[in-house]
């Protein structure tokens, strides 16, 4: 429970309301063990919005006027942890297996599409872009695009800007860093992605448990360390939707602690513990 010096209460009923909102808005399942975490994360939002209790804050959140704050609530109770080239074996597979096939399609007049679902602050999408440029140097002049999406408007804006702490840039291989990264003269201590590579990623806000205004299918989708927040039902439904948005033979990459349990229903075959290929 929160410490006694907090000037607003937090009841079991408040936690249940947060759980209901999280499930209805984003398919997020909050176990009892997250009760204190929810308090810690949302108490900051309550202070910033000027409310004096969880009850009054949540009363506002569920109204039409509270729609934007409802989004901030969802963002507050989820964790945005990412880095450049995280889980490097996925990028090796993308480089050696997926992108050569995309290159052949592009040379034949086709298109290439990659998706970083739940892209957080964008390092994953930019890592995909750098890997793409390493295999297909003229990708920006071809029908090649990378989509980065996240439910959190603030982190999507960071990804779109492509400006990061210089110390975080160190995870980028040196050859790629020399080509695509420069110090940001306007922000000491920061570096930015630069050059024609910026033409590849497109960043948009998207709730994975809402409608997807996506028409094209993808050669590969990265959806990693996301479903850990979801109920089993929501998780399986998401895997199926993602698989449906892959081209035949396309790949789905998941987090190291995640598994697609019903592969047959998704028309997927496991190539490794975290890489699945769509049949066809």
Residues 6+ apart with CB under 8 A from 171: 83, 84, 85, 86
208 in a known ligand binding site: yes
Q: Is 224 annotated as a binding residue?
A: yes
Catalytic (active site) residue 150: yes
Q: Is 152 annotated as contributing to ligand binding?
A: no
Q: Are 150 and 211 in contact (CB under 8 A)?
A: no
Which tokens in the block code for residue 8?
């607003």
What are the C-alpha distances in Å from 84 to residues 129, 167, 169? 11, 11, 7
Q: Which of 150, 219, 235, 277 is catalytic?
A: 150
Q: Name the nearest CA neighbour of 125 among 89, 162, 92.
A: 162
Q: Which of 27, 28, 1 is nearest to 14 (CA)?
A: 1
Q: Which of 151, 16, 18 is nearest to 80 (CA)?
A: 151
**Does 124 show up as a binding residue in the annotation?**
yes
Say if residue 268 carries a ligand binding annotation.
Answer: no
Q: Is position 267 annotated in a ligand binding site?
A: no
Catalytic annotation present for 41 = yes
CB of 279 closer than 8 Å to CB of 268: yes
* Segment holding 157, helix H or strand E: helix 153-161
- Residue 87 among known ligand-binding residues: no
Give binding residues as ranges: 80, 82, 86, 124, 150, 207-208, 224-225
Q: Which residues are catalytic?
A: 41, 150
Which residues are annotated as part of the binding site for S-adenosyl-L-methionine?
80, 82, 86, 124, 150, 207-208, 224-225
């Amino acid at each position: 429970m929160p410490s006694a010096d907090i000037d607003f209460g937090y009841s079991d009923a408040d936690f249940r309301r947060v759980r209901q909102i999280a499930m209805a808005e984003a398919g997020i399942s909050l176990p009892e063990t997250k009760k204190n975490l929810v308090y810690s994360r949302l108490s900051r939002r309550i202070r910033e919005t000027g409310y004096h209790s969880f009850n009054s804050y949540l009363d506002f959140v569920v109204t039409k006027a509270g729609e934007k704050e409802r989004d901030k609530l969802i963002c507050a109770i989820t964790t945005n942890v990412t880095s450049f080239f995280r889980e490097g074996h996925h990028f090796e597979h993308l480089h050696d297996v997926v992108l050569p096939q995309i290159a052949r399609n592009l040379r034949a007049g086709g298109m290439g599409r990659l998706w970083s679902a739940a892209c957080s602050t964008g390092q994953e999408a930019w890592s995909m872009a750098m890997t793409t440029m390493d295999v297909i140097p003229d990708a920006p002049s071809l029908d090649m695009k990378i989509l980065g999406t996240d439910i959190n408007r603030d982190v999507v804006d960071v990804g779109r800007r492509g400006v990061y702490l210089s110390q975080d840039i160190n995870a980028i291989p040196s050859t790629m860093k020399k080509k695509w990264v420069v110090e940001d003269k306007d922000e000491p201590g920061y570096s930015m992605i630069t050059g024609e590579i910026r033409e590849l990623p497109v960043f948009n806000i998207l709730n994975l448990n809402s409608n997807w205004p996506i028409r094209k299918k993808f050669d590969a989708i990265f959806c990693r360390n996301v479903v850990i927040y979801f109920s089993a039902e929501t998780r399986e439904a998401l895997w199926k939707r993602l698989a449906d948005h892959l081209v035949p033979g396309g790949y789905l990459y998941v987090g190291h602690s995640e598994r697609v349990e019903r592969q047959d229903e998704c028309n997927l075959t496991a190539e490794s513990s975290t890489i699945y290929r769509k049949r066809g």
